[in-house]
Copies of this chain bind each other. A is one copy, B any other.
Amino acid sequence: MASDHTRSAILAAAERLYADRGFGDVTLRDIVAEANVNLAAVNYHFGSKDELIAELFVSRSIATNRERLRELKAAEEQGGGRAPIEVILRALVGPTLRGCLGPENQRSTAARFMIRASIESVPPIRRIKNRELDHLRKFAGAMRRALPDRSDVDIYWGLNFALAMAHHTIRESERLTKLSEGKCDLDDVEDVVARVVSVATMALTAGKVEAKAPSRIAAR
């Protein structure tokens, strides 16, 4: 038991470095240097590098999932078991967007770490990641309750597109800024959230029963 100080110093340093530079080029020696601890401390406290990553991921994973579910539950209870689709989507993508965009000093290393984890997919994480499916299914359930006459397929596609827009915008935020020559303001996080939620809502509500039929397509 005792101090725990070294343990948490390692966790914090690892999270920071992974969030900033990705899993690819962060070595154990980088981590222990950042944490000001001895090289052998990682193996002593966590067993191996992979177990360190895994522990980091599971703890952050349940934390952010809890955060998102908290928003979702609150919205559904307030609406008597059924929340508006916009609010559900906002609960889904809001926390991550807020944690990864905006003024540099208020970004959350936890959120940025989770984005890295969702991108790079290093072995120890991939093994655990199935849990996330159950989490997403809860959101799918809420969305189905909000849009009862929508097919499951459309619900899942809408969920997929919402996450797509949020994650891609985070990953390619500098590119979008450069491409638009600064016209797209990625620091205005609430505007970004509103745009993502708005488009995802359209994707889920357009065309009602008829579903998609833009150019042509006979519809399933």
Contact = CB atoms under 8 A, between A and B. Distances in A.
Nearest to A159: B179
B203 A183 contact: no
Interface string A178-211: 1110011000000100111111011101100000
A206 B202 contact: yes
**SS of A interface (majority):** helix
B164 A168 contact: yes
| Tally of this chain's copies | 2
A22 to B, nearest CB: 8
B203 A152 contact: no
Interface residues of A, number: 48
Contacts of A159: 179
Interface of A: 24, 86, 119-120, 122, 133, 136-137, 140, 152-153, 156-157, 159-161, 163-165, 167-169, 172, 175-176, 178-180, 183-184, 191, 194-199, 201-203, 205-206, 212-217
8 contacts: A133-B175, A152-B180, A153-B180, A153-B183, A165-B168, A191-B217, A194-B215, A195-B212
Given A159-B179, A165-B165, A202-B203, 13 more contacts: A86-B214, A86-B215, A120-B120, A156-B180, A157-B184, A160-B172, A161-B199, A163-B172, A164-B165, A164-B168, A197-B214, A197-B215, A201-B214
